[in-house]
Amino acid sequence: MARATFGMGCFWAAEEVFRTVPGVTATEVGFSNGQDAGVTQAQVFSGEAGHAEVVVVDFDPARVSFTALLEHFWAGHDATVQVKPIVRSAIFFHDPGQQAEAETSRAARPQAVATEIAPVGRFWRAPEKDQLYVCRHAAQAAQ
């Protein structure tokens, strides 16, 4: 198993991009790559703490490559703008191979993108109500 971490703006929408990709075994949303100590939820949402909303994607590399996940990442959001620090476009790599693939993929974009590429930092899981949010609410709406 392997892990990838992506910031694509709202983590609810980002999770929905990946959760049904064949080879993805789990998704989880939360916050990463901000200040580690003494951060309150208010600081996270204000942008003061520097965190990004992220989706963590666990995947089986024998079934789906990191490169394929990057294609879902690019197709799943507008990487040409940064709305605010918490909802930024970012690829937080877990190893040098992911870093190289992310940089190559970003360089191949046909237009300039504002996507940050950085080592993954500490992850704070969002509350349970935020996990699988779109999936759960779509099911409720269909009832």
Q: Which residues contact 61 (CB under 8 A, 6 or more apart)?
A: 1, 2, 23
Active site residue 135: no
Q: Residues 3, 10, 122, 124: which is the catalytic one?
A: 10
Are 88 and 52 spatial neighbours (Cβ–Cβ below 8 Å)? yes
Q: Can you tell me the distance from the alpha carbon of 139 to that of 101, in angstroms, rounded to the nearest whole number?
A: 35
Q: Which residues contact 116 (CB under 8 A, 6 or more apart)?
A: 7, 52, 88, 89, 90, 91
Catalytic residue positions? 10
